[in-house]
Amino acid sequence: MIGRRNLSIGVRTLLALALVILAGFPVFWMINTAMTPVGDLYANNQRIVPDFSRTLNIFQVLVSDSPFLRWLGNSALVAGGTTMLSLLLACLAAYALSRYKFVGKGLMTFGFFATQMLPEALLIVPLYSMFMTLGLLNELYGLVLVNTAFAMPVAVFLLKSAMDTVPYEIEESARVDGCNALTILQVMFIPLIAPSLAAAAVITFFDGWNEYLFATTFIHDTANWVASTGLASFIGEFTTPLDMVFSGAIVFTIPAAIFFLLMQRKIVAGLTAGSVKG
Amino acid sequence: MVSVMPQARPARTKKRVRSAPYIFIGLAVLYLLFFTAFPLLTGVNLSFTDSKLLNPSAGTYVGFDNYSALITSGAFLKSVSTTLIYTAATVIGCLVLGTASALVINGFLPGRAIARTIMVLPWAVPTVALALVFRWIYNDTNGIAGDVSQGLGLGQVGWLIDPNYGMLAVVIATVWKLAPFVMLIVLAALQSVPEELYEATRVDGADAFTTFKQVVLPQIAPTMRVVALLMTIWSFRRFEIIWLLTGGGPVDATTTIVINVYRQAFNNGNLGLAAAAGVLGLLLSLIVTVVYFFVEQRATKANGIES
């Protein structure tokens, strides 16, 4: 591998260092700001090196009397609900796409892909009036329902390509033993595709966790806000101290960042599978 | 139906025609019909009415009035060009920076695992948190970007309040978040470039740029075309990062079609007009997708003739 691109390691190391600084800076700045006492933030000589003695300051946002902890809980509920509903629907759909030939299969596959193209901003107008009629506005499970519509197709493609790699022989033998398709799916497929299932769970969970547009449009009651709406509400208001705002942002980011970094390859595969393989 | 003679068919269950697949896939299909297709049709229907937000069902049909109002309004046409500029800038920015990052990090490097993790990090940061930190970086009195622009001799640039810089600020933040995604995909494609190809050009004494142009680029080009399409479609419909950074401002400098749709609907209450703008935006991404598949097919044909 060494020197295979004729660019010396020295040059590449320097370039990599520059890219690391570029990529890491905003996250570093978020941490630095959260650790700086508010008075110093607006001083002309803002500190560049974080004050690590104030590390625990970040997590005080969780125990303070701000509603942030409650919003995080709401986010977790919405994200968890989105994950369960998406995976249930996606497992069944992926199994049909992977194991059966049927009329309309191509059209349905295209339909799943086409949902990726729909602008939420167009759908949100009719969805808003639909949800108003159905009494789903202001409800957390309303968000679960709408997030699932956008998260589930990605899970379908990811699970379908995982199921495609499971040999037919395995289910043949089970079928001979008299198992029906649903049992085969439950008992044989789910354990075999567990890694992809985990990846799909992470993708759908953080779709629900990060989602902002529907959450901010559909939920008016601040007690039912999710963390993304709550954090965004700090924009342009000046009563909440900035170090507190950034502490909240960090606490909100940590779970998403950890899981995304752990699952990066699977997530990329999931996001591109639908378009690459059709 | 056909399953009267199951024995005559091949043993693979895949070939049988039965109701099971429709039951399995039916739930997901019905779900999507209800939550995406039905609202989509409702949206198209709304676009021909003068419905208002306060009473969505009370609108009357106005034919193509909304559409003709839009295509003759300077504000809408400007939002189309803003969308195209934003899309071109972010797609090109992400492809260039993402591919360059992938090339730098591919192969042996000291501390590669840590470097790679930090380089992927921006992609893992939720958009809302990203918007908060970029607004603080761009802050016109205390933001660090102001210090940088002063250092560069540009003076104190109001990144988010000066119409000349608003788009640049939004594009930088978008590229920062999404270039890592391109990097991951290109990195995966680079791993599949056969080692012998590098060997051959190295023997020829080619420099790094020639190697990239003649050996690496043709190998990763199909991947990059797919990424370009995905990035383009996503850019057309991207809402949150723009909305949270500038809200479409300063002075409409970053009002893309989707921002326009949202403002029309929820700030002005004109559901009909908003829906029409949304439909036109959707048509735009459809056109791009069709063009993409056309180009892709020609590329495949051309390759077929070569080999």
CA A54 to chain centre: 29
Cβ–Cβ below 8 Å for B11 and A172? yes
- Mark yes or no for CB contact A29/B144 under 8 Å: yes
Higher model confidence: residue B86 or residue B156? B86
Give, in order, the Cα–Cα distances in Å from B134 to each of A23, A209, B143, B299: 13, 20, 9, 40
Task: State residue B32's pLDDT score.
Answer: 95
Q: Which CATH architecture has domain B65-306?
A: Orthogonal Bundle (1.10)
Confidence check: pLDDT of B227 > 60: yes
Q: Are B127 and A212 a contacting pair, CB within 8 Å?
A: yes
Report the 10 Å Cβ neighbour count for B111. 12
| Chain B touched by A190 (CB under 8 Å) | no
* A93/chain B closest Cα distance in angstroms: 4
Q: Kindly report the nearest CA distance between residue A8 and chain B, in angstroms.
A: 10
- Tell whether omega for the bond before B180 is within 30 degrees of 0, i.e. cis: no
Q: Residues 81-110, chain A: which have Cβ within 8 Å of B?
A: 89-90, 92-93, 95-97, 99-102, 105, 108
Q: What does DSSP assign to residue B4?
A: G
Name the residue with tokens 């208001």. Answer: A237
pLDDT attached to residue B119: 93
User: Looking at residues A159-170, what average pLDDT do you find?
Assistant: 84
Are A126 and B176 inside 8 Å of each other by CB? Answer: no
| Mean pLDDT of all residues in A15-39 | 89
What are B52's strand-pairing partners?
B55, B270
- Which of these, B252, B254, B267, B187, lies nearest to B224 by C-alpha position? B187
| In chain B, where the domains are located | 65-306
Whether B2 contacts B17, CB under 8 Å: yes
Residue B249 has a pLDDT of 80
Q: Is pLDDT at A4 greater than 60 in this prediction?
A: no
Q: Give percent of chain B with pLDDT exceeding 70.
A: 92
**How far apart are alpha carbons A88 and A6 in whole angstroms?**
50
- Report how far residue B25's alpha carbon sits from residue B105's, in angstroms, rounded to the nearest whole number: 41
Per CB-CB distance under 8 Å, the chain B contacts of A203 are none
Higher pLDDT, B295 or A2: B295
How many whole angstroms separate alpha carbon A126 and alpha carbon B46?
8
The pLDDT of residue B158 is 79
B124 to chain A: which residues are within 8 Å by CB?
Answer: 253, 256-257, 260-261, 264
Counted across chains A and B, CB pairs separated by less than 8 A come out at 300
Tens-digit pLDDT profile for residues B5-48: 444 444 454 444 578 889 899 999 999 999 999 999 989 999 99
Residue B3 pLDDT exceeds 70: no
Q: Which of B246, B247, B281 is nearest to B266 (CA)?
A: B247
Contacts of A130 in chain B (CB under 8 A): 38-39, 42
Question: For residue range B262-275, what is the model confidence (pLDDT) as tens digits?
Answer: 999 999 989 899 99
**Alpha carbons A147 and A211: distance in angstroms, whole number:** 8
Average pLDDT over residues A65-85: 92
Looking at residue B284, its amino acid is L
Residue A56: burial class (beta carbons within 10 Å; 0-12, 13-18, 19+): exposed
Give Cβ neighbours of residue A8 (< 8 Å, ≥ 6 apart).
none
Residue B57 has pLDDT above 70, yes or no: yes
Within 10 angstroms of residue B52's Cβ, the number of other Cβ atoms is 16
Query: CA torsion angle for B82, B86, B88, B92 (degrees, to 10)?
Result: 160
* Residues of chain B positioned with their CB less than 8 A from the CB of A15: 100, 104
Does A231 sit within 8 Å of B128, measured CB to CB?
A: yes
Q: Which two tokens stand for residue B261?
A: 């749709």
Residue B286 to residue B259: CA distance in whole angstroms: 19
Q: Measure in Å the smallest separation between the Cα of A223 and chain B Cα atoms.
A: 19
Average pLDDT of B56-85? Answer: 90
Q: What band does A269 get if pLDDT is binned at 50, 70 and 90?
A: confident
Domain ranges within chain A, ordered by starting residue: 9-59, 66-277
Q: Inter-chain contact A149–B198, Cβ cutoff 8 Å?
A: no
Give the integer Cα–Cα distance in Å for A244 and B132: 12
Percentage of chain A lying above the pLDDT 90 cut: 34
- Assess whether pLDDT exceeds 90 at residue A215: yes
- Pair B77, B71: CB distance under 8 Å: yes
pLDDT digits (tens, 9 = 90+) for B98-129: 999 998 988 888 888 899 899 999 988 999 99
pLDDT tier at A45, thresholds 50, 70, 90: low
Inspect the interface and report whether the beta carbons of B127 and A212 lie closer than 8 Å.
yes
Q: Which residue from B124, B226, B282 is facing A276, i.e. has the nearest CB?
A: B226
B47 three-state secondary structure: coil
3 state DSSP class of B49: strand
The CATH number of the structural domain formed by A66-277 is 1.10.3720.10
User: Rounded to a whole number, what is the distance in Å from the CA of B273 to chain A's nearest CA?
Assistant: 11
Cα-based distances in Å from A219 to A188, B38, B57, B293, B299: 41, 22, 21, 39, 47
| pLDDT range class, residue A278, cuts 50, 70, 90 | very low
CB of B4 within 8 A of CB of A89? Answer: no
Under an 8 A CB cutoff, do B278 and A16 touch?
Answer: no
| Subunit contact A2:B137, Cβ cutoff 8 A | no
Q: Output B8 or B152, whichever has higher pLDDT.
A: B152
